Amino acid sequence: MEDCKLEIKLADRPGELSKVLDIIAKNRGNLFAVSHIREGAREGRVPVVIQFQAIQVDFNSIVSDLEKAKIEISEKLVGGVEEAGVEQEFILIGHVIDTDIKDTIYGICDKDVMIKSLDISLKSLKDPSSVFTEISAKNTKAMTTSMAKLEAIAKKKKLLLITGINST
């Protein structure tokens, strides 16, 4: 199984994401994260990042079926991160959403590091939030670099970073 990522653009209406998830499931993709990038919405279309695991042939079938369904794919990525399987979990506490969570995610992810899961706890938009995240890296060096970037981002944004929860 390979770690896969697709960034697609969907019409912002009920049922559109369900069609995509059905295609992934039909082709044996094992979903682990879906992120709507609402601030990137343009002309009634919203970018959505979908992360899942699949073997290469199933990934190719997923892409083909999405194209047949006229789903716009803006980014395709398969493989790499799962090879070494270095994982790290952490929690960010503070105004994580207000300080641009997308910027934080893009600041720590690259071709060798990706988000495996991200859970947000939010009482209201005015209160601090907490974000539990698990990232996966290709190797220890990539993980170390990503965590150093995360520490700098947390300091700059005045967020509390809790690590050492569970790493493998």
Task: State residue 164's pLDDT score.
Answer: 77
3-state secondary structure the chain: CEEEEEEEEEECCCCHHHHHHHHHHHCCCEEEEEEECHHHCECCEEEEEEEEEECHHHHHHHHHHHHHCCCEEEEEEECCHHHCCEEEEEEEEECCCCCCHHHHHHHHCECCEEEEEEEEEECCCCCCEEEEEEEEECCHHHHHHHHHHHHHHHHHHCCEEECCCCEC
Per-residue pLDDT of the chain (168 residues; tens, 9 = 90+): 888 889 999 998 899 999 999 999 999 999 988 888 877 788 889 999 998 999 888 999 999 999 999 999 988 887 654 444 688 889 999 999 888 888 898 899 887 888 877 888 888 778 898 999 888 887 889 899 999 999 999 999 999 999 876 544
- Residue 85 has a pLDDT of 66
pLDDT at residue 113 in the model: 86
Cβ-contact 63, 11 below 8 angstroms: no
* Alpha-carbon span 94 to 37, nearest angstrom: 20
Q: Inter-axis angle of helices 101-108 and 140-157, to 10 degrees?
A: 150
- Domains (ranges, CATH) in the chain? 2-79 (3.30.70.260), 83-162 (3.30.70.2690)
Is the Cβ–Cβ distance between 134 and 87 less than 8 Å?
yes
pTM: 0.52
- DSSP 8-state class, residue 99: T
